[in-house]
């Protein structure tokens, strides 16, 4: 009986985040002319994330990962599509919209130093969000800040210290504590370990995983490095020039990557057990999001590109399993 109830709960885990056909287009001036164009940083992204799930979002620098993350939190205006957080579409703009989203979703940024106010003690940085959301009276606030410090592996008496007195890894722990203290259902982590020493990256990743399991919070883990998300994500979405090109269970992405772009990202992960393994080298740079090639956006760098990839339309998703899909002309008609 108990087991069948657990199964039902598994199946019916609600979506904490649903993104439908999201677009973020930045107006830009092109060259020296006065012609205005649009840089399509995010162009038609559809994603979902269940309660307590960890979704990895990977892709090269400039493909639109941070823009997508910021649009979820209302930090950049969207040009189209819908964002549904914990079952509710947030329509309010500006500060009201940001506050409404912040109750459900919090963010951890790449640079922990830049995201902490240097003039605030750690206690003030952690107590601020509680006060903002009216979540605790001053005495209780103090208690919750100390408890959160312990949870992220810092001494509770460090609350009187300032950000510059901590190391990079400790500062990222403080940022994680600040994100979790308002008990969000989703934490968006934008390259949370990219600015840290290689030696402490694993500690921060393990901390995020422990807290996810303990608190049941969902994680959107953004990284340009597939290796970082390999061991922590349930599912992985691969982004290229503003669009998702492949999505699947982590196992499917790592053992049977279907899109040539995903294949090249995976082959670029160093394998210490097999240093002779070949790497698929990508030709050229990522094309500009301002001037996307016709057809599949990856075609200029793909060594398997066919005429349909260069001249045809943007490929639709081909379904490879109940959880795995990729957008590639090579897969169409399979």
- In the complex, the residues that contact ligand ADP under the rule CB under 6 A are 26, 28, 39, 41, 59, 61-67, 289
Distance in Å, CB of 165 to Mg ion, minimum:
28
Which of the listed partners (Mg ion, ligand ADP, none) does 125 bind, with a CB threshold of 5 to 8 Å by partner kind? Answer: none
Residues pairing with 40 in the sheet: 25
In order of 56, 67, 217, 239, 266, the CA distances from 232 in angstroms are 8, 22, 14, 18, 16
139 burial level (CB within 10 Å; 0-12, 13-18, 19+)? exposed
SS3 at position 325: strand
State whether the Cα torsion 257-261-267-270 is positive or negative: negative
Torsion of CA 76, 70, 166, 56, to 10 degrees: -170
Separation of alpha carbons 114 and 329, rounded Å:
42
Distance in Å, CB of 133 to ligand ADP, minimum:
27
> Which residue's CB is nearer to ligand ADP, number 130 or number 289?
289
Q: Which residue is nearest to Mg ion (CB)?
A: 66
Residue 126 — φ and ψ, nearest 5°? -85, -35
> Which residue's CB is nearer to ligand ADP, number 61 or number 332?
61
Distance in Å, CB of 16 to Mg ion, minimum:
22
Separation of alpha carbons 275 and 329, rounded Å:
32
> Which residue's CB is nearer to ligand ADP, number 203 or number 286?
286
Closest-CA residue to 98 (of 121, 132, 124, 144): 132
Distance in Å, CB of 108 to ligand ADP, minimum:
14
Tokens of 95: 């500060």
Applying CB under 5 A, the residues found at the interface with Mg ion are 66
Distance in Å, CB of 154 to Mg ion, minimum:
26
Proportion of the chain in helix, strand, coil states, percent, rounded to 5: 35, 25, 40
> Which residue's CB is nearer to ligand ADP, number 166 or number 240?
240
Which of the listed partners (ligand ADP, Mg ion, none) does 26 bind, with a CB threshold of 5 to 8 Å by partner kind? Answer: ligand ADP
> Which residue's CB is nearer to ligand ADP, number 67 or number 78?
67
> Which residue's CB is nearer to Mg ion, number 279 or number 288?
288
Which of the listed partners (Mg ion, ligand ADP, none) does 289 bind, with a CB threshold of 5 to 8 Å by partner kind? Answer: ligand ADP
Distance in Å, CB of 295 to Mg ion, minimum:
26
> Which residue's CB is nearer to ligand ADP, number 26 or number 317?
26
- Long-range contacts of range 161-167, CB-CB < 8 Å, 24 or more positions apart? 161/121, 161/122, 162/118, 162/119, 162/120, 162/121, 162/122, 163/112, 163/113, 163/116, 163/117, 163/118, 163/120, 163/122, 163/125, 164/113, 164/118, 166/122, 167/200
Distance in Å, CB of 286 to ligand ADP, minimum:
9
> Which residue's CB is nearer to ligand ADP, number 167 or number 288?
288
Residue tagged 């329509």 (tokens): 91
Which of the listed partners (Mg ion, ligand ADP, none) does 67 bind, with a CB threshold of 5 to 8 Å by partner kind? Answer: ligand ADP
Distance in Å, CB of 295 to ligand ADP, minimum:
20
Which of the listed partners (ligand ADP, Mg ion, none) does 64 bind, with a CB threshold of 5 to 8 Å by partner kind? Answer: ligand ADP
Which of the listed partners (ligand ADP, Mg ion, none) does 63 bind, with a CB threshold of 5 to 8 Å by partner kind? Answer: ligand ADP
């Amino acid at each position: 009986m108990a087991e069948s109830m657990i199964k039902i709960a598994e199946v019916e885990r609600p979506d904490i985040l649903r993104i439908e056909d999201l677009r973020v287009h930045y107006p830009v001036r092109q060259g020296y002319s006065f012609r205005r164009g649009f840089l399509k940083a995010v162009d038609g992204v559809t994603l979902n994330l269940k309660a307590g799930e960890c979704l990895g979002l990977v892709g090269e620098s400039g493909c639109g990962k941070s823009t997508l993350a910021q649009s979820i939190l209302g930090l950049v205006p969207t040009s189209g599509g819908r964002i549904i957080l914990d079952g509710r579409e947030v329509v309010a703009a500006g500060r009201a919209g940001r506050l409404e989203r912040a109750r459900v979703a919090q963010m951890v940024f790449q640079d922990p130093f830049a995201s902490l106010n240097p003039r605030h003690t750690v206690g003030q940085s952690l107590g601020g969000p509680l006060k903002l959301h009216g979540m605790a009276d001053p005495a209780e606030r103090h208690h919750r800040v100390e408890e959160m410090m312990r949870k992220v592996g810092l001494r509770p008496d460090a609350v009187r210290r300032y950000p510059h007195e901590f190391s990079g890894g400790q500062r990222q722990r403080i940022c994680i504590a600040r994100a979790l203290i308002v008990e969000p259902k989703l934490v968006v982590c934008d390259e949370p370990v990219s600015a840290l020493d290689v030696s402490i990256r694993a500690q921060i990743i393990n901390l995020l995983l422990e807290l996810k399991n303990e608190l049941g919070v969902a994680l959107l883990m953004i990284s340009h490095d597939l290796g970082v998300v390999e061991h922590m994500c349930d599912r992985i979405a691969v982004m290229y020039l503003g669009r998702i090109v492949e999505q699947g269970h982590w196992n499917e992405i790592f053992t049977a990557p279907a899109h040539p772009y995903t294949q090249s990202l995976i082959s670029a992960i160093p394998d210490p057990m097999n240093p002779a393994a070949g790497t698929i080298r990508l030709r050229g740079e990522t094309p500009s999001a301002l001037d996307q090639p016709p057809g599949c956006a990856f075609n200029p760098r793909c060594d398997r590109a066919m005429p349909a990839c260069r001249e045809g339309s943007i490929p639709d998703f081909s379904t490879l399993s109940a959880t795995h899909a990729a957008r590639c002309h090579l897969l169409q008609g399979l």
